[in-house]
Structure 1
Amino acid sequence: MLSTSTAEVRAGGLAQVERRENLLNQGFHLVRSGVLAPGLRVHRDVGAIWQLVTWGPSIAGGYRASAVRAPHQTAFADEQRSATFRELDDNANRLANSLRDRGVGPRTPVAVLCRNHGGLVEAMVALAKLGATTLLLNSGLSPAQVSAVVVEQRPVLLLADQEFLDQGPDLPADLPVVSTWADDGASGLAGLVAQGAPARVPIPERPGRTVVMTSGTTSTPKGARRPQPHGLSEAASLLSAIPLRTGERMMITTPVFHTWGLAALQLGMALHAELVLPRRFDAEQALRTIAERRVTALVAVPVMLQRILDLPAEVKARYDTSSLRVVAYSGSAMPAERITQFLDEFGPVLYGLYGSTEASWASISTPADLAAEPTTAGRPPLGTRLGILDDDGRPVPRGAVGQICVGNGMLFEGYTNGTGQPMFGDLMATGDRGRLEDDGRLYVVGRADDMIVSGGENVFPRPVEDAIAALPEVADAAVLGVPDERFGQRFAAYVVLREGATLTAETLLDRLRPKLPRFSLPRDVHFLPELPRNPTGKVTRHTLPR
């Protein structure tokens, strides 16, 4: 005979209450942002919802819904062209039919090596319509790495911007290749669209998959299988902390092959946003585009925002950026003094998302958070659970450093090599270490594998990088651990000076001594003209001189 304790009944009742409150909160944020608009254009709204029901909340279903709800609204604008949601949907149908004629079907792996542009969006939608597996390759991979990834992942087709094909990667002789930018007529992406039948594509029995390559800044890139959104709850989670609205004009400068760029694309899809897609980032051109197109939301990585800040004052003054309501960054840490500078120059528009390829998002810092505590990663958004655990998976006290573990609806499905990240119940370890303070704010102290033991002390590079970056002569800095015969390990600092500035290693260390404990001080200081970074702005630490 089964029995249920009073405590279990109460726990079950509380869980039901929490679920109801969560659904109500999701609905509130979806209505506030305009994703759901009760009573307006009922026939279109019902039609859009039906597309999501039948196709599922994939990129195919999302853009089908947008084609029904906002057919004449601009879906994207790149350097060559723009397209409405209806035009995008029509082009994706034609491209999907062309690709199907060439053997692409459900779960067929197709590699995509593109910068941000409309052809990339159309290709991703077309592949999703077919239920294919989209393998998003990092545009920063060397030709040899592209060759290695192709051998490992075994795609049946490669869609690539011509510039990457011109670099001469060693590809299998039988691998079909389609140029996706500056293509040569009928054999390129535009040719496939023109040749394709306009008929709507049947809904696949199983939704397609998206595989994102990890950044590979400290190791060989791995393929991470990204889940399809489970509904609008994931959009509601981000919208609970970042006040985006339908109809945004959203400039995505973060590469879409990166998880942050992909999340922005998916969020823009839910918002029926116009995506402004520059293929390359240039700081002044970014300001010019914001002013000319009246961009309302900018999605970037920290190094891009730092380059904007480093423009001469007279250059920044030429462009009216008052249309910006949201500037959202992710991908790496942004120095505290740069955060303060950005808020001072552009106002309370800055939002920081902390996450990873594997965990999607963990926390979001608002302008109020960043103004109060520039080093914080913020708080977990709606529907996200955050734990600071010891190595055995037990919670550590508030304020103590432990491994950051996250639970949400968009945890990745594992690496393509069959491995995954450690799990503690429904929480996934991010590989970072940090602490939660009493106010609920998260502080990231660094990657677990970046921590060094110097003279018996556990130390992380992030506070050292922040202290160096705060010096007025310094434009950029990175710190990492190197072997040390006496102390086991020591920190080495890599410093880029501002134009015209002078600073010696001795002076730099003298400035740091009042701010840092002795065991955190770098023992090597290297001055470089610039830091090596990948396309998402992360420092490629393995290429730094030792």
Structure 2
Amino acid sequence: MIGRLVELGGFGIEAVVTLTRSGLLAPVPPAALARMVEAYRHYHVTPAAGVAMAAARWPDRRAVVDEAGSLTFAELNARAAALAVGLRRRRDVGPGRTVAVMWPNDRGFVTAVAAVSRLGADLLLLNTGLAGPRLREVLRREGVHTLIAAPDLPPVHFPGPRVTDLDELAAEGGLTGRDGSEHEDGPARRAGRLVLLTSGTTGTPKGAPRRLSLTGLAAPFLSMLATVPLRSGEPILIAPPLFHGLGLLWYAAALVLGCPVVLLRRFDAGAVLDALAAERAGALVAVPIMLKRILSCPPRPLPHLRVVVSGGSALPPAVATAFMDSYGDVLYNLYGSTEAGWASLATPADLRAAPGTVGRPPRGATVRIEGPDGAEQPPGGVGRVLVAGGLTFTGAANGLLTTGDLGHRDDSGLLFIDGRDDDMIVSGGENVFPQEVEDLLARQPGVADVAVLGVPDDEYGQRLAAFVVPEEGAAPSADELRQAVKAELAGFKTPRDITFVDSVPRNQTGKVDRFKLIPHS
């Protein structure tokens, strides 16, 4: 399998060096290798295959560390196998069915996801914060047959079969082998689709389906591993929700590398720092608002932390610089979306040179900056960001997917995101991207958090409105904030409305929920 990855990746010697450095080219006993090949034959490119292959190669290595303790890969695979049998027998789950998983970050999520994909069913990952009419609409629209939901979540109105006790259903399925290899679920006739939801900050979340292939994933994975120095067996703390593309991407990487995944059901900056130290974690995955909250804690020595990956929303340049000043040049900034997957990555060197950059696309991915006439923009020219690659979702037209973002490249080829196309504010005929105003205001003394958006204006069509969270004990002046924007950016980019609020509403991946801010405007 590793040899096939090298062949597909097209890296040649570079791929061999990368895989050797990460520890993936270590010798594999023939019996374990045979079980890995059999797992791939059964489950194709799915979470089930990742868990089963890791269990074959590293059965006694820790797979998951959560508040309940830890599970080895063999134990995780056995639980997934038993749960799959229970789902098939008791809930009639199999190919052609859609199963929704609504579970926080702990062993229950990874067990449920592996069990569903063992059966060839389509897998829908639900935001645990969804509720009410929006949740009912998603369940109806996606044709969900069975809902797996954590028992401590708010009640969900769902008329179909539901599962809240994974242990009970797994016990009904029975553990058929210590490592789950003596399974009763049988080969899936096909790999089920994986459906992720968009963030839903501007409406009801939409499903973005994927069918993953080894050919499509090999080059991006090898490129990521060549850029981000992860090591096999090194613990990774994944702070964002696993139901989101960012968390799921790095969980998949952890499976391939045989890395223990450290999970916390709820984000707490102090708890994250404690876990990083206690588990001697080599990597942390977080969204920018999480990094900002970590910076609000007293810094502590984390000598084993070599990699911090930020993604999910825009990384403020000031946060990038401050984090590296506190914890070293370990920060990588990933750009992508639920629909587009991974599009580009900035290294610590990139961020030192240009803290606002999202870097360059990985091998196997394409990023195009397209102007209004459809032509590719030269350096400095702002245009629509289109991407292509093995991680883009089903339905990308002509191989390129519009991300909905506007961006540009500098003369060295580094990519910058200027803002969302639909967030661009046209005020008195002038185009303003809220992100640059937010970044400037976030650097001002006394500002803890900020969001900027356009609101209707009878005279100018739209005007800028800023919602500012003061730091504790601070009282920034609205006039001073306006003067700071006017002096550094321009008069037409200065918010006319500045409202001080207790908090900026954000979803679980750190994006501003502008729906909740609009009523204040």
Query: Is TM (by shorter chain) over 0.5?
Result: yes
Match status 1:223 vs 2:216: no
Partner of 2:292: 306
Partner of 1:430: 403
1:465-496 Cα distance to aligned partner (Å, 9 max, x none): 11000112111111111112222111111111
* Alpha-carbon distance between aligned partners in 1 of 2:122 and 2:28, rounded to the nearest angstrom: 36
The TM-score normalised by the length of structure 2 is: 0.93
Partner of 1:488: 461
3-state secondary structure, aligned to 2:227: coil
Match status 1:75 vs 2:52: no
Partner of 1:324: 305
- Displacement after TM superposition at 1:47 (Å): 4.1
- Displacement after TM superposition at 1:454 (Å): 1.5
2:221 corresponds to which of 235, 239, 263: 235
Equivalent pair of 1:227/1:410 in contact (CA under 8 Å): no
3-state secondary structure, aligned to 2:202: coil
CA RMSD of aligned residues (A): 1.8
Equivalent pair of 1:406/1:430 in contact (CA under 8 Å): yes
Equivalent pair of 2:220/2:362 in contact (CA under 8 Å): no
Equivalent pair of 1:72/1:86 in contact (CA under 8 Å): yes
Partner of 2:4: none
Match status 1:121 vs 2:110: yes
2:39 corresponds to which of 20, 26, 51: 51
* Alpha-carbon distance between aligned partners in 2 of 1:520 and 1:100, rounded to the nearest angstrom: 58
Partner of 1:14: none
Partner of 1:10: none
Partner of 2:18: 29
The aligned runs of 1:234-383 (5 Å cut-off) are: 234-311=220-297, 313=298, 316-317=299-300, 320-383=301-364
1:330-372 Cα distance to aligned partner (Å, 9 max, x none): 1001211111100000001111100000110111011111111
3-state secondary structure, aligned to 2:464: strand
3-state secondary structure, aligned to 1:260: helix
3-state secondary structure, aligned to 2:201: coil
3-state secondary structure, aligned to 1:480: strand
3-state secondary structure, aligned to 1:406: strand
1:391-433 Cα distance to aligned partner (Å, 9 max, x none): 443211221001111111111014xxxxxx6x3x422111100
Query: Kindly tell me: are residues 30 and 508 of structure 1, through their superposed partners in 2, closer, same or farther at Cα, counting changes over 3 Å?
Result: same
Equivalent pair of 1:144/1:170 in contact (CA under 8 Å): no
- Displacement after TM superposition at 1:80 (Å): 1.1
2:387 corresponds to which of 400, 406, 415: 406
Query: Kindly tell me: are residues 279 and 229 of structure 1, through their superposed partners in 2, closer, same or farther at Cα, counting changes over 3 Å?
Result: farther
Query: Kindly tell me: are residues 143 and 80 of structure 1, through their superposed partners in 2, closer, same or farther at Cα, counting changes over 3 Å?
Result: farther
* Alpha-carbon distance between aligned partners in 2 of 1:446 and 1:494, rounded to the nearest angstrom: 17
Partner of 2:370: 389
* Alpha-carbon distance between aligned partners in 2 of 1:238 and 1:46, rounded to the nearest angstrom: 27
- Displacement after TM superposition at 1:137 (Å): 0.7
Match status 1:170 vs 2:157: yes
Unaligned runs of 5+ in 1: 1-17, 180-187, 415-420
Equivalent pair of 2:96/2:121 in contact (CA under 8 Å): yes
Q: Counterpart of 2:25 in structure 1: which amino acid?
A: L
Q: Which runs of 4+ in 1 moved over 6 A?
A: none
Across the two proteins, how many residue pairs are aligned to each other? 503
The aligned runs of 1:435-454 (5 Å cut-off) are: 435-454=408-427
Equivalent pair of 1:230/1:409 in contact (CA under 8 Å): no
* Alpha-carbon distance between aligned partners in 2 of 1:46 and 1:372, rounded to the nearest angstrom: 47
Query: Kindly tell me: are residues 21 and 178 of structure 1, through their superposed partners in 2, closer, same or farther at Cα, counting changes over 3 Å?
Result: closer
- Displacement after TM superposition at 1:27 (Å): 4.4
1:211 corresponds to which of 170, 173, 195: 195
Partner of 1:12: none
Partner of 1:418: none
Equivalent pair of 2:445/2:476 in contact (CA under 8 Å): no
Equivalent pair of 2:382/2:407 in contact (CA under 8 Å): yes
Partner of 2:503: 530
- Displacement after TM superposition at 1:438 (Å): 1.8
* Alpha-carbon distance between aligned partners in 2 of 1:219 and 1:464, rounded to the nearest angstrom: 24
Partner of 2:186: 202
The aligned runs of 1:124-163 (5 Å cut-off) are: 124-163=113-152
* Alpha-carbon distance between aligned partners in 2 of 1:536 and 1:170, rounded to the nearest angstrom: 25
* Alpha-carbon distance between aligned partners in 1 of 2:22 and 2:30, rounded to the nearest angstrom: 17
1:156-175 Cα distance to aligned partner (Å, 9 max, x none): 211111122xx233222xx2
Equivalent pair of 1:29/1:236 in contact (CA under 8 Å): yes
- Displacement after TM superposition at 1:523 (Å): 0.9
1:128-152 Cα distance to aligned partner (Å, 9 max, x none): 1100111111112123322222222
* Alpha-carbon distance between aligned partners in 1 of 2:13 and 2:198, rounded to the nearest angstrom: 35
Q: Counterpart of 2:410 in structure 1: which amino acid?
A: E
3-state secondary structure, aligned to 2:242: coil
* Alpha-carbon distance between aligned partners in 2 of 1:140 and 1:153, rounded to the nearest angstrom: 18
- Displacement after TM superposition at 1:513 (Å): 1.8
* Alpha-carbon distance between aligned partners in 1 of 2:474 and 2:17, rounded to the nearest angstrom: 51
* Alpha-carbon distance between aligned partners in 2 of 1:403 and 1:411, rounded to the nearest angstrom: 16
3-state secondary structure, aligned to 2:384: strand
Equivalent pair of 1:389/1:405 in contact (CA under 8 Å): yes
- Displacement after TM superposition at 1:97 (Å): 0.6
Equivalent pair of 1:22/1:383 in contact (CA under 8 Å): no
Equivalent pair of 1:432/1:446 in contact (CA under 8 Å): yes
Equivalent pair of 2:192/2:211 in contact (CA under 8 Å): no
* Alpha-carbon distance between aligned partners in 1 of 2:151 and 2:331, rounded to the nearest angstrom: 35
* Alpha-carbon distance between aligned partners in 2 of 1:90 and 1:354, rounded to the nearest angstrom: 35
3-state secondary structure, aligned to 2:167: helix
Query: Kindly tell me: are residues 45 and 233 of structure 1, through their superposed partners in 2, closer, same or farther at Cα, counting changes over 3 Å?
Result: farther
Unaligned runs of 5+ in 2: 1-6, 177-181
Equivalent pair of 2:19/2:25 in contact (CA under 8 Å): yes
Equivalent pair of 2:485/2:491 in contact (CA under 8 Å): no
Equivalent pair of 2:379/2:413 in contact (CA under 8 Å): no
The TM-score normalised by the length of structure 1 is: 0.89
* Alpha-carbon distance between aligned partners in 1 of 2:138 and 2:63, rounded to the nearest angstrom: 31
* Alpha-carbon distance between aligned partners in 2 of 1:267 and 1:19, rounded to the nearest angstrom: 17
Partner of 1:106: 95
Partner of 2:3: none
Deviates more, 1:110-119 or 1:47-56: 47-56
3-state secondary structure, aligned to 2:294: helix
Equivalent pair of 2:84/2:116 in contact (CA under 8 Å): yes
* Alpha-carbon distance between aligned partners in 1 of 2:261 and 2:455, rounded to the nearest angstrom: 43
3-state secondary structure, aligned to 2:440: helix
- Displacement after TM superposition at 1:456 (Å): 1.5
